[in-house]
Amino acid sequence: MTPIALPPLTKDLVRVLIDADTIQRRVNELADIINRDYDKIEGTLILVGVLKGSFIFLSDLCRKLNVKHAVDFISLSSYGSSSKITGNVRMIMDTRENLEDKHVIIVEDILDSGHTLDYLSRNFAARKPASLKSVVLLDKPERRRIEFKPDYVGFEIPDVWVVGYGLDYAEKYRTLPYIAEMLPVEE
């Protein structure tokens, strides 16, 4: 993954870490893998996007799926009122779908500390789905505090602050078509 120079959009962004074309190629690859894995399931696959960060990734991914699927959302918070991870995950909005006996894939923008996906996986497993997997666009293994291994990974990235393609800082940069490295946030 070779960094690409960033057009001079803002002084906060250091470089493009993953360009839009590379993201789309990987989303297509992930969709192909999921299509193969769920080709013969009984019933409907439910993709549960973790708001807000996963919405662009989820949108692109589900449009590439050929298997019968439904989309639902959940909203969690693990940052409190700052950019520091607290380790305390709080559910803000639950799914509308009953997950019992359903095949479920959690769709997350980034796997960082592991707290959010660990919490969500334990919560969903208690609902007795037929199967439960996770797909993350970005994996930052250097930041892991709780061991969690996603089933599908888009990209492994270094321990840098990233924005774009759904990821934000203070609601900025979320709709960039690429993943950019941002200058570290000072508290």
Alpha carbon of 91 to those of 80, 119, 123, 175: distances in Å? 12, 10, 10, 24
Rounded to 5 degrees, what angle do the CA atoms 142, 147, 153 make?
Answer: 70
Rounded mean pLDDT of 157-167?
Answer: 95
Catalytic residue among 60, 109, 112, 139: 112
Stronger pLDDT, 164 or 80, i.e. the higher one: 164
Report the alpha-carbon distance of residue 97 to residue 84 in Å, rounded. Answer: 31
| Tokens linked to 99 | 């997950």
Tokens of 187: 């508290």
- pLDDT exceeds cutoff 80 at 4: no
Please confirm, yes or no, whether 19 is among the known catalytic residues.
no
The tokens for 27 are 């989303």
User: How many Cβ atoms sit within 10 Å of the Cβ of residue 145?
Assistant: 12
- Please determine, for residue 5, whether its predicted confidence score (pLDDT) is greater than 60: no
Confidence check: pLDDT of 134 > 80: yes
Q: What is the CATH number of domain 24-31+42-182?
A: 3.40.50.2020
Domain boundaries, the chain: 24-31+42-182
Which pLDDT value is given to residue 137? 98
pLDDT tens digit string along 43-90? 889 999 999 999 999 999 999 999 999 999 999 887 554 455 556 778
Tell whether the model's pLDDT for residue 187 goes beyond 60: no
Distance between CA atoms of 63 and 165, rounded to whole angstroms?
A: 16
Q: What is the pLDDT of residue 156?
A: 97
pLDDT value of position 12 = 86
Q: What was the pLDDT predicted at 79?
A: 56
The reported pTM is: 0.88
pLDDT at site 60: 98
Q: What pLDDT, on a 0 to 100 scale, did the predictor assign at position 56? A: 98
Query: Hey, what amino acid is at 31?
Result: A
Q: Please say if the pLDDT value at position 183 is more than 80.
A: yes
